[in-house]
């Protein structure tokens, strides 16, 4: 009997990718002043999807000026209940166009359609809904009777959850009364440009949202611009530190959501099958391109062998391939550069003495792919235990006592997230008190909700996104 999966591709006919895209400034798509552009590629096929404008200094000036004018004349003075209604409109438009956006996200980013459709897009819409409701309730958020916006926000987002990170940035900024200039990542600009169209459909006043595409230089111009009052960045810790240096001594308020090297701690009394699912979700969700990924598995020694057997059996069932196939578990690595980084760190893992294992796994000929990978015999000193790989690579370490688990889990400059697997509630809370991480998941992993604050300790950044706490990043408090 053959239980192979037949291909179940989602139709791409729902998206209409234009050959080229301009910058979205002051409510209109415009050509960049210097006429430069770059290509965005489908990482599953290496085909060029579109030419996208590259914003230079003049374009960034124009975008910041548009955002300033919109802030001074329209969005800043507008009553919260009117801002709320714009955000509700945007939320509804996202819901209405969610399948189109999901397919486009999978094409541009490489993530499985099952994730873009069932995780990213519902969370995007929910984030706008949630923050729409705050726009006229800021007096109740715990920051005083009349908290004020900051002004113009410069926002730079990564490629791993392109539209979701846009939502995390734009929704709270607008709800609090700021205007924004946002730069999407250079490998995943397309859904942000559809979002610009959605702003037009919502009749959002011009200049409230501006989207400038480009690479690192565009981002630098934006965050260093004198005309911005707030900088919000999600991305690597390295770039985050550069940004922190560049805004030092200015009036700009800064929030950073950076890298992570989360420990997923499995105790001997954990429900093992459930833990295996959580570990797999923790590291292989979104190809491991997740800042809060559970990239270090800390398993109690007495159950390590059994857990690893079950984990390997489960990994062997993961389907790697076409992101648009509804059965795909692991899609394409987002770019050649990221694939190279994952390969390099994995090779270093082997060289340093860890044991590498992957299930038999046929990868497509074209595109950027990496098989789900497990390292055992990992020491805390190994680079694969210390550095963020940002790929489907899990490093397994063991521990004997809860104290040792805490010490190992916290032995990292990062502090974004952590996982705990045990049937004992008091131990969950004991661990949670000791883990130096901004989000702690117990008997679950990679859960997100607009009502729940997200963000890191230590070098994973500062500031929170989501929930009542997330509003603070965009208020003058």
Residue 95 or 376 having the CB closest to other proteins:
95
Answer whether 454's CB lies under 8 Å from 439's CB. yes
In the window 325-354, what residues touch other proteins (CB under 8 A)? none
Please give the Cα distance from 272 to 300 (Å, whole number): 12
Q: Which of 467, 472, 473, 475 binds other proteins (CB under 8 A)?
A: 467
Residue 21 or 130 having the CB closest to other proteins:
130
Residue 359 C-alpha from the chain's centroid = 27
Residue 288 or 470 having the CB closest to other proteins:
470
In whole angstroms, how close is the CB of 449 to other proteins at the nearest point? 8
The 8-class DSSP code of residue 287 comes to: G
Residue 141 or 247 having the CB closest to other proteins:
141
Please give the Cα distance from 467 to 133 (Å, whole number): 11
- Torsion sign across C-alpha atoms 418, 441, 238, 244: negative
257 flagged as catalytic: yes
Residue 380 or 451 having the CB closest to other proteins:
451
For residue 97 the two structure tokens come to: 């166009």
Regarding 39 and contact with other proteins (CB under 8 A), the answer is no
Answer whether 271's CB lies under 8 Å from 424's CB. no
Per CB under 8 A, the segment of 78-86, 182-190, 313-321, 411-419 that binds other proteins is 78-86
Per CB under 8 A, the segment of 126-134, 280-288, 413-421, 455-463 that binds other proteins is 126-134
Per CB under 8 A, the segment of 106-114, 139-147, 230-238, 392-400 that binds other proteins is 139-147
In whole angstroms, how close is the CB of 429 to other proteins at the nearest point? 4
Regarding 312 and contact with other proteins (CB under 8 A), the answer is no
Regarding 143 and contact with other proteins (CB under 8 A), the answer is no
Please give the Cα distance from 287 to 229 (Å, whole number): 35
H helix or E strand, kind and range, residue 124: helix 121-134
* Burial of 317 per CB tally in 10 Å (0-12, 13-18, 19+): exposed
For residue 307 the two structure tokens come to: 């857990």
Regarding 140 and contact with other proteins (CB under 8 A), the answer is yes
> Mask 408-437, x = binds other proteins (CB under 8 A)?
-----------------xxx-xx--x----
Size of the site for other proteins (CB under 8 A): 26
Residue 238 or 269 having the CB closest to other proteins:
269
Q: Which of 128, 129, 168, 370 binds other proteins (CB under 8 A)?
A: 129
Please give the Cα distance from 108 to 52 (Å, whole number): 12
Active-site residue, selected from the candidate residues 105, 115, 257, 388: 257
Residue 87 or 283 having the CB closest to other proteins:
87
Of the candidates 411, 451, 457, which has an alpha carbon nearest to the alpha carbon of residue 291?
Answer: 457
Per CB under 8 A, the segment of 138-146, 166-174, 331-339, 387-395 that binds other proteins is 138-146
Please give the Cα distance from 331 to 363 (Å, whole number): 10
In a 13 Å sphere around the CA of 453, the CA atoms on its Cβ side amount to 14
Regarding 132 and contact with other proteins (CB under 8 A), the answer is yes
Answer whether 208's CB lies under 8 Å from 174's CB. yes
Residue 148 or 468 having the CB closest to other proteins:
468
- Torsion sign across C-alpha atoms 440, 125, 161, 137: negative
In the window 376-405, what residues touch other proteins (CB under 8 A)? 402
Q: Which of 88, 327, 371, 383 binds other proteins (CB under 8 A)?
A: 88
Please give the Cα distance from 294 to 289 (Å, whole number): 11
In whole angstroms, how close is the CB of 323 to other proteins at the nearest point? 27
Q: Which of 450, 455, 461, 463 binds other proteins (CB under 8 A)?
A: 450
In a 13 Å sphere around the CA of 417, the CA atoms on its Cβ side amount to 29
414 Rama sector, left if φ>0, alpha if ψ -120 to 50, beta otherwise:
beta
Q: DSSP labels for 249-316?
A: TSS-EEEEE-----EEEE-TTS-HHHHHHHHHHHHHGGGG--TT---EEEEEHHHHHHHHHHHHHHHT
Residues designated as active site:
257
Residues that bind other proteins (CB under 8 A): 81, 84-85, 88, 126, 129-130, 132-134, 136-137, 140-142, 402, 425-427, 429-430, 433, 450-451, 467-468
């Amino acid at each position: 009997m053959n239980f192979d999966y037949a291909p179940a591709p989602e139709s791409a006919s729902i998206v209409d990718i234009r050959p080229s895209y301009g910058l979205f400034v002051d409510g209109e798509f415009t050509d960049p002043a210097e006429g430069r552009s770059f290509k965005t590629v489908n990482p599953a096929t290496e085909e060029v999807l579109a030419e996208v404008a590259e914003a230079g200094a003049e374009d960034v000036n124009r975008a910041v000026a548009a955002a300033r004018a919109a802030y001074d004349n329209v969005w800043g003075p507008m009553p919260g209940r009117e801002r709320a209604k714009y955000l509700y409109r945007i939320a509804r438009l996202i819901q209405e166009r969610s399948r189109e956006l999901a397919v486009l996200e999978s094409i541009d980013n490489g993530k499985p359609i099952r994730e873009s459709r069932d995780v990213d897009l519902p969370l995007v819409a929910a984030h706008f809904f949630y923050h729409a409701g705050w726009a006229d309730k800021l007096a109740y958020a715990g920051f005083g009777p009349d908290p004020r916006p900051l002004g113009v926000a410069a926002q730079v987002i990564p490629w791993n959850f392109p539209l979701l990170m846009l939502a995390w940035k734009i929704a709270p900024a607008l709800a609090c009364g700021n205007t924004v200039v946002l730069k999407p990542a250079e490998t995943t600009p397309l859904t942000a440009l559809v979002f610009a169209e959605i702003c037009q459909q919502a009749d959002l006043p011009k200049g409230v949202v501006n989207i400038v595409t480009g690479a690192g230089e565009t981002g630098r111009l934006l965050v260093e611009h004198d005309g911005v009052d707030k900088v919000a960045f999600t991305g690597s810790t390295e770039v985050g530190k550069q940004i922190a240096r560049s805004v030092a001594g200015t009036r700009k308020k800064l929030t950073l959501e950076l890298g992570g090297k989360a420990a997923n701690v499995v105790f001997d009394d954990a429900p093992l099958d459930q833990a295996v699912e959580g570990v797999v979700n923790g590291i292989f969700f979104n190809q491991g391109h997740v800042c809060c990924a559970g990239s270090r598995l800390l398993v109690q020694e007495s159950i390590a062998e059994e857990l690893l057997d079950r984990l390997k059996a489960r990994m062997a069932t993961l389907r790697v391939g076409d992101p648009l196939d509804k059965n795909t578990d692991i899609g394409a690595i987002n770019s050649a550069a990221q694939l190279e980084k994952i390969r390099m760190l994995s090779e270093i893992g082997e060289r340093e003495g860890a044991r590498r294992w992957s299930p038999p796994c046929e990868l497509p000929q074209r595109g950027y792919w990496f098989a789900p990978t497990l390292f055992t015999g990992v020491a805390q000193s190994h680079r694969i235990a210390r550095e963020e790989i940002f790929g489907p690579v899990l490093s397994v370490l063991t521990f004997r006592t809860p104290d040792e688990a805490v010490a190992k889990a916290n032995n990292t400059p990062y502090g974004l997230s952590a996982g705990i697997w045990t049937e004992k509630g008091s131990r969950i809370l004991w661990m949670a008190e000791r883990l130096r991480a901004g989000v702690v998941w117990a008997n679950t992993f990679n859960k997100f909700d607009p009502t729940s604050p997200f963000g890191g300790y230590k070098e994973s950044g500062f500031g929170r996104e989501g929930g009542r706490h997330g509003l603070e990043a965009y208020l003058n408090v």
